[in-house]
Chain A
Amino acid sequence: MKLAYYPGCALHGSSNDYEQSLRACLGKLEVEPQEIKEWICCGATAAHALNHKLSIALPARNLALAEQQGFEDMLAPCPMCSMQLLKAAKLMDEDAGLRREISSVIEVEASGRLQVLNLIQVFQRIGLDRIKPAVKKPLADLKPACYYGCLLTRPPDVVKFDDPEQPSSMEAIMAMLGAKPVDWNYRTECCGAGMTMAKEATVLELSQRILADAREHGANCLVTACPMCHVNLDMKQGDIEQRYGTRFGLPIYYLTDVVGLALGLSSEELGIDRHFVKQPQ
């Protein structure tokens, strides 16, 4: 599978454990995503909050570069990136005038043929029925709360993935790995997103609710496919426990961690030892 790889700033920054995990896991499935050259930040929250044109131009440049470099499919493991990329593609698709304008801003033609995929879609492309036979260690002890967050399934007319109210794509993967995903109420509720530094109280409150509900429904860990969510639930879990006077101790796994473990990779290979909340022994 020829797959372009758009890491985004988080995966090359403090969430580089996600990159380690996904390279190890996908590598085990014989998929080697190729980082596109000279990619730039997608703009994240700052661009769409402060400058509409920039929020289209920055992702558009990356779409164009990937196409130029000969790719048809591109993995963007961070849902903020994937959503912004899909939104830029959709807006330019609907308005030829906009496409021309943006193409001249970014100095390269964005033709819109590139397919942007999130991590779950890549697993679906590989085929769950082809991954299942490769499972060496079914995760029978795992009772994960599958946490989708906001931007994997919303806005539905942009990302067109799974169901925005009752998604099930991650649970399907968990079930295939032999785990027992729990049914819980905060699967698509926001964790506070990029407000970690700017409005910490919001993040602590929203993420606390997520952890509390997961635990209440019998989960012994959470699984996520978003680096921001991971930071808010993992790195900030200690602060949450302190603020709310309650102990959670819930490991937060990336989806590739869980798949990788089932395929027989070790915690070290997957970078799970780099998380803040430790796995239980």
Chain B
Amino acid sequence: MPGESPALRKKAKPMSRIGVFVCWCGENIARTVDVAEVASAAAKIPGVRCSVHYKYMCSDPGQAMIREKIESEKLDAVVVASCSPHMHLKTFRKTAQRAGLNPYLVEMANIREHCSWVHHQRGEATAKAAEIIRMSVEKVRQNHALQAIRVPVTRRALVIGGGVAGIQAALDIADAGYEVVMVEREPSIGGKMAGLSETFPTLDCSQCILTPRMVEVGQHPRIKLYSYSEVEAVDGFVGNFTAKIRQKARYVDISKCTGCGECWNVCPLKRNPSEFDFKMGMRPAIYVPFPQAVPARPVIDSKTCAKLIRNGCGLCEKKCQAGAINFKDTDRVVEEKIGAVVVATGFQLYGIGKKQNGKLVGYGEYGYGKYKDVIDSLQFERLVSASGPTNGAIKRPSDGKEPKNVVFISCVGSRDNAKGLSYCSKICCMYTAKHTMLYKHKVHDGQAHVFYMDIRSGGKGYEEFVRRAIEQDGAKYYRGRVSKITEQNGKLIVRGADTLAGTPVTIEADLVVLAAAMRPAPGVTDLARMLNVGYDEHGFLLESHPKLRPVETNAAGVFICGACHSPKDIPESVAQASAAAAKTQILFAAEELTREPEIAQINEQTCAACYACYRTCPYHAIEQAEVRTPRGVFVKKTARVNPGLCMGCGTCVAACPSKSAELEGFTEQQIYSMVESLA
């Protein structure tokens, strides 16, 4: 049993009635390996009670055969010689369990991926298959019957990120009856979607479809929203996490504030570049990021507020009838106990105008940051948005005039192996088409020009949407890149190529919109390390399996959804969010959680408490514990494995100088026996 000292268990009897089941796997194994010969060779191994072969061991009849033999031959262990354990170990363990045999007394000998699929010579392959089976027999001989580990579950979910993905996941989990804690780093939830104008392919007003859900989150009885907050630490294991959340100082008491707006109207420092408007507009020092914010309560920017910097002003405090302003506010750290984490941290755009880390050096040739009228796609969204800094009128940032020629450039930073990011950002082709349409709908005599390399419009109704931009709204599409943008007499000279015509193209534009690449939100890699979730070289979080497990991670109990996983649009983010919510509900549906018991064990009698294992364990699964007498008298310090966290990697076994750590099912004795059996 887990937790038992290995020393005690060494007295257990080795298995002596082993059944070997050799699978043909149709042609996959039988074509290269002589399965009949291998079965009869196995029958001669001491301790093997029966050895048979069959065409498809994983099929119903095949499994029935195994169960029949377990009962009739009173088998005490089973070796199935077939495919990789990744394929069917669970299958055969369940089969054995149905026949009353402990599932951990089942081993698989991989004679497919490790033998028939990589060798051609029948003689050699057959001999190797026989050896592989002999090793598995040796191993299973010394296996122990194990019980799955049970851990309790805290049925509360933590959702990190309040964009559309986080909102969807939170609502699904809360509507299913579980409590949700949502943490959002900005003063309001809504994410990037709250700042968009209209969404493709329906041209729905983005805020109109999102704000009802934002309100739902804000008012949901089972959702606890920490806005203007960040996750600082997450400890524990699946079903049993503890999260430390830092609530940043708002300097406004939300419980007292009525959202009347007197404070931000009276604030004299009105000209701070607005983060929500991506610096296309201004906001006061005390502000609500946008009128439909949830919570609809202001926050004070401590970097610009005169009172906080030099004890001046203070007008908002004087004006506030509810007495909600509190300049003495501080950050607060709270703890929440949760059972599952859903990461929905979203994205940021590639910073075009500047050198970033290492290879990302920006695009100086586009003049972003140098020319006011060169903006990126999110900035254009704010221009077009009815609640934006120009109330939806499309105006040049330089002189406020209406642009009659707008150039849209795709793939800025994406698909660039030289100085950008190698991947495609997926949504830009669609939103660029959308931008040309929104522009045309507002500036009827305007002309949109799009420079593209390819058009990627694979979603439902997407291709038709792009054609609409070209055929109905007259957008001109040039297949080629832009080499340089310069300014002449107040116009932007855009020099590009039209490779379909084989000529260069020069356009005198009034405004240039760059479709910048999508990157994961800043700080996501720090968060990933907190959660033991892997991430790739771009910072996108890693899923367990790209095809079959897109919202799970290799950290049990941690799920991901939305743009933090990879660039994607709103329908996909929402779908993934619901998927993550479903996975969370599966977790919560169990009375208890079960974990695989093939984990490390530490012999507390021999452990010297050097804690080499504690320091090397990648899952922080080893605790510094004490051995005490039944009356509580201290005997010695020891290391102890937390069965809820241990992933059975064996690092501690390698690190332990006194050989006190052993891996259940993979003891040194077992491994040596397996090797010796080949001699």
Contacts and interface: CB of A to CB of B under 8 A. Distances in A.
Interface string A143-176: 0000000000000000000011110000000000
A165 B493 contact: no
Size category of the binding interface on chain B: under 10
A273 interface: no
Contact of B364 (A163, A185, A216): A163
A226 B493 CA distance: 27
B370 A185 contact: no
A165 B367 CA distance: 9
A166 B487 contact: no
Contacts, number: 13
A185 B365 contact: no
A45 B407 CA distance: 37
Contacts of B493: 185
B488 A165 contact: no
A185 B493 CA distance: 10
Interface string A176-213: 00000000010000000000000000000000000000
B486 interface: yes
B370 A166 contact: yes
Interface string B222-256: 00000000000000000000000000000000000
Nearest to A167: B364
Contacts of A165: 363-365, 484
Interface residues of A, number: 6
Nearest to A184: B486
A166 B353 CA distance: 10
A12 to B, nearest CB: 35
Contacts of B363: 165
Contacts of B484: 165
Interface in B362-384: 363-365, 370
Nearest to B367: A166
B137 to A, nearest CB: 53
Contacts of B487: 185
Nearest to A217: B488
Contacts of A164: 364
B365 A216 contact: no
| Residue of A163, A164, A166 contacting most chain B CB atoms (<10 Å) | A166
Nearest to B493: A185
Contacts of B488: 185, 216
Interface string B476-496: 000000001011100001000
B355 to A, nearest CB: 8
Interface of A: 163-166, 185, 216
Interface of B: 363-365, 370, 484, 486-488, 493
Given A165-B365, A166-B370, A185-B486, 7 more contacts: A163-B364, A164-B364, A165-B364, A165-B484, A166-B364, A185-B488, A185-B493
8 contacts: A164-B364, A165-B364, A165-B365, A165-B484, A166-B370, A185-B488, A185-B493, A216-B488
Chain A to chain B: the 10 pairs with minimum beta-carbon distance, closest first: A165-B364, A185-B486, A166-B364, A165-B365, A163-B364, A185-B488, A166-B370, A185-B487, A164-B364, A216-B488
